[in-house]
Structure 1
Amino acid sequence: MTQEGKKKVTFCSSCGSVNIKPSYAMGTIDNRVECLDCKTLEFPIEAEEKFRQKFLEEKK
């Protein structure tokens, strides 16, 4: 039994990218992040890697 797919990742809830950074520049105190790929402010999803793969499949 491997840990494959069990690793937690945080990704953009809009496009599924993991290329995100906390947005302090916007003056928000809530925990939204800015996605560097789709340029939106989103609440990130923290989930297992396999969930993200499924999310990306459904986006297509």
Structure 2
Amino acid sequence: MTISEEMQRTTITMQMKIEAMQKEFDAMQMRVRNGGKMNWNYLWIVVLCVVSYMFGKSSQ
């Protein structure tokens, strides 16, 4: 396993995660438009998960 392969795999994983997050965000925006209240707690949990995931990757 070379470093570039590892980087490629990590990048692809991150892209997939970002796409999934964008879908979640779109769903949340739809809910807001439909009169629902934005769930900031949920948003913070997602942000924290991503940040901790990235720090975990970089510290390995």
TM-score by length of 2: 0.29
Counting helix residues as a fraction of each chain, which structure ranks higher?
A: 2
Counting strand residues as a fraction of each chain, which structure ranks higher?
A: 1
- More RCO (CA 8 Å, sep 6+): 1
Question: Computing the radius of gyration over CA atoms, which structure comes out larger, 1 or 2?
Answer: 2
